[in-house]
Structure 1
């Protein structure tokens, strides 16, 4: 199956097709459990075999890819590790922070990163804002029940709890203007379909929050991403765009920070 997003990215006028294809090839090799030949890479990325071969030849010369003569196969090369060296030792929060800033500037609102804890809460780990606009302010360390708000709907969607258990937990949540359980359940199911959710004045009156979820390879919630703004500060058409941007970033972050090790099978415990 072609790499997610490769065709979509290539379709934008501002993107350079050869670069998009090279990135798709590198990502495909990074996810592979064994060395791959040109034909397998072409099938996996949806890039023509001749284009794959030319890009692989260049990546090999620059040491981003290693070529194994015996099997005519390719793996990631040492130059990839060289690029990643500056990230060694950095926390997940530090790695995600530049993307928080980018989204805050793009959408003109507070973008928050929530860490999902083992005891059933979310804690504000980091946030970024656009300095030019009126904004919501939130303090690092704020702690909320993990199923509340827009992030909570996304977590509930991933946990996929039995309806009776979800109803029980919903009854323990505190909102300033609580939705009905039926509305909450409908929105949880929608979050499961589209990858993001919205809370419009329920958790806090007058505040709109849009969120998506970062998960590990086993599907366990790790972080929530949310855009937070004062109601009526943005056109309603902004929120689906924000939701898709957050979902895209959450997916990329999930793959980058919590990728499964080679050979790991879904349904088994991560090492």
Structure 2
């Protein structure tokens, strides 16, 4: 069982709260009632701890308990917390997470909408204060295969090499990579859910990205960190990519109802 006492940033976390969240995520992902023993096994908690958490959550209405079947499922009490977000602009919901990534990693994060016509459209930017950064015009449009996002897009769409090459040829690269290296990056993006572009789409810019897909696996949003070349080390770019991939997974679960990957 992994260590849940810290998130890796030195912040001390509360195990009981994390365990409760693990239980609720499990029940949300399963979409069906489960017994306490099975929940404990799936979340790697001892039965006593799981039972106490389940009893507390059901007491407050966050879970619903069936006394006949002795099973738990998501409760109507969750609507108390969800109602303020219903009908909200998705960008407003996403903003705190992307702003935090921008500030924590001293970068500029661009949020892109992915259209059905294989374009990406810049809808918002989130920038750390007092950093030198590139300026992109709102509503800028690029082919979906562009740069770091493009590598993630081809990976998420599970395109063939021939289909990817056709999309690759629609991009205006300032320092074009070979298609072979681009295709290799797509293969890596299938595993990591992140893409990198080092001065190829735009000279002098380092870009890392991840995608948000809906419940059917269709790419809906792109998130890219864009920094001046040399501002970030290879390691720090890797950390940014990891933060974007983690944010993408959370957005998928919360906004699009996509089950967490196991």
User: Which structure 1 residue ranges, 5 or more long, are not aligned?
Assistant: 1-5, 262-271
Instruction: Tell me what 1:161 maps to.
Output: 159
The ranges of structure 1 where at least 4 consecutive aligned residues each deviate by more than 6 angstroms after the TM superposition are none
The residue aligned with 1:138 is 136
CA distance in 1, matches of 2:4, 2:109: 24
**Residue equivalent to 1:150:** 148
CA distance in 2, matches of 1:9, 1:227: 28
Q: Contact 2:107–2:128 (CA<8 Å) still a contact in 1? A: yes
1:176 aligns with 2:174: yes
Q: Of residues 63, 66, 91 in structure 1, which corresponds to 2:89?
A: 91
Deviations 1:131-153 (A, max 9, x none): 22112222221110001110010
Alignment coverage as a number of residue pairs: 256
TM-score, structure 1 as length reference: 0.90
SS in 2 for 1:203: coil
Kept after mapping to 1: 8 A contact 2:143/2:170: no
CA contact (8 A) 1:38 1:52 kept: yes
Change (3 A) 1:24 1:222: same
CA-CA distance at 1:7 after TM superposition: 3.3
TM-score, scaled relative to structure 2: 0.93
**1:258 corresponds to which residue?**
256
Structure 2: runs of 5+ lacking an equivalent: none
The answer to whether the 8 Å contact 1:10/1:20 transfers is no
Match of 2:45 among 26, 44, 47: 47
Match runs of 1:87-236 below 5 Å = 87-236=85-234
Give the aligned partner of residue 265 of structure 1.
none
Aligned to 1:35: 33
